[in-house]
Amino acid sequence: MLDGTNATVCERTALRINPAKTCQPIGAMYAALGIHGCMPHSHGSQGCCAYHRSHLTRHFKEPVVATTSSFTEGASVFGGLSNMTTALSNIFSIYDPEVVAVHTTCLSEVIGDDLPMMIKKNIAEGKIPEGKHVIHANTPSFVGSHVTGFSTMVKNTIKYLSDKTGETSDSVNILPGYVDPSDMRELKRIAAELGVKITMLPDTSDVLDQPQTGVYTMYPRGGTKVSEIQAMGDAIATLACGDFASKEAAEELEKKCNVPFSLIDLPIGLKGTDTFIDTLRRMAAVPVPASITLERGRLLDLISDMSQYFHGKKVALFGDPDHVVGVTQLLVEIGMIPTVVITGTPGKRFERKVAEIVSKVSPDAHIEANADIHKLHQIIKNRKVDLLMGNTYGKHVARAEGNLPFVRFGFPIMDRTGHRLFPLVGYRGAMYYLDKILDQLFDKADREVPEELFELIQ
């Protein structure tokens, strides 16, 4: 399909070809699913909601519930207040959620619907039952990305629900960033190993990775409870993972409830996980147990065993900015050379972070935010690489470039199934991905090596 892509790069300012991102409402919907008993609500047309649900379903292989204001031509002209009022009435009477998390779409943003006003009006008219909550996030698809939509929804969840009673608890807040349920589960496991009491927001574990019991549950047992979100204002500190997905929420909690925060990169690889564990143990004033030290040692041993195969291999990677920063750090740790590094999310700080990580091993790397996969492909044609890493949309590029070894990570992965059960974060996540990377390199070598050199042992 992409065999016609040429190597001549033309700078484009008003056009994206194969964007390395998707739209804000998808991120907002995913964040809302990490609240227990929450119904995500798309304030726009039915088609938008259907697309966002299906995109998440294809990645997680789980049913994704959401409601919509179902705009028609009338709402587009006269505004969506009537649609919102009817929707909230139906949602609470039929589905009985604890929280309705409303996010906007392009259409409702363009016509200028005032969501705070709509929510206040419905509260004043008794349309929202006592003890229930409606929160909102403005997420137009024509700016930002799914990462910024996620960030805005988490920030506004704190703005609406978190509070401070004046009595500091012994809990630490963890904002995990836009990661899979398996990653959130792994971060909770590490915190439990350290003996640290935490509140994670959002938490999609046990929501989008439910076990098969034969019984469908609209509101699974997972997700951060409203009472836990409200108590986040009493925590001793907040650990925010990921500059792009978690920083704004951490700043909002500090501003509203005076909870100090530390901002780190996603805990991917050796250095990233070290930083996560060290920051968490200092916040809670706890020692690092032997079990964690042993996990770290196993990762170090694996890196030592594999380093001869990784050394000097050039890599092109793309995806969400926080993911890409962490994976770039991991690649440098194992002796690989990140040569082309892009994200579809805008933000010059992404370029600065990656440039700092690769400065010693790949000072001439092509690093770009707000880029697309078409440009990535063109640059690869000018700079030969040994490995491509990114989401499902990279498979066409890998095929067009002679079945270039390709390792999937991030969001979305729609052509594989087991990925959602295995973390990328933590020492265990790094071990899993190192094995995936080396398997791809070995498989290519086995396919291309002359028969007389085809050995059982690599």
Mean pLDDT for 52-70 is 95
- Our answer to whether residue 106 is catalytic in this structure is yes
Percent of the chain at pLDDT above 70? 100
Picking from 151, 168, 152, 187, the residue whose alpha carbon sits closest to that of residue 231 is 168
Q: Where in the chain is the domain with CATH 3.40.50.1980?
A: 24-161, 291-451
Instruction: Please say if 196 is a catalytic residue.
Output: no
pLDDT tens digits, 295-352: 999 999 999 999 999 999 999 999 999 999 999 999 999 999 999 999 999 889 999 9
Please tell me the distance from the alpha carbon of residue 21 to that of residue 319, in angstroms, as a whole number. Answer: 7
Distances (CA, A) of 141 to 149, 187, 217, 368: 9, 30, 30, 21
Tokens of 349: 């700080």
Q: Can you give the pLDDT at residue 413?
A: 96
The span from the CA of 142 to the CA of 448, in Å, is: 44
Confidence of residue 75 (pLDDT cuts 50, 70, 90): confident
CATH architecture of the domain with residue range 24-161: 3-Layer(aba) Sandwich (3.40)
Q: Is the pLDDT at 1 greater than 60, yes or no?
A: no
| pLDDT of 2 | 65
Residues 267, 334: Cα–Cα separation, whole Å = 16
Measured distance CA(312)–CA(229) in Å, rounded: 46
DSSP per-residue letters across 437-453? HHHHHHHHHHHHS-GGG
Q: Which of 23, 102, 106, 340 is catalytic?
A: 106
- Say what the pLDDT of residue 271 is: 97
81-90, 128-137, 163-172, 329-338: which range is least confident on average? Answer: 163-172
pTM above 0.75, yes or no: yes
Task: Give the active site residue among 9, 110, 143, 449.
Answer: 110
Higher local confidence (pLDDT), 111 or 249 = 249
Does domain 291-451 fall under CATH 3.40.50.1980? My reply is yes
Give the number of other CB atoms < 10 A from CB of residue 407.
20
Predicted confidence at residue 9, as pLDDT, reads 84
For residue 52 the two structure tokens come to 């966002």
Segment 125-145, tens digit of pLDDT = 999 999 999 999 999 989 999
- Average pLDDT score over the chain: 94
Q: With the C-alpha atoms ordered 44, 45, 50, 51, is the resulting torsion angle positive or negative? A: negative
Work out the angle between the directed axes of helices 146-161 and 243-257 (0-180°, nearest 10). Answer: 20
Closest alpha carbon to 228 in 285, 286, 172, 149: 172
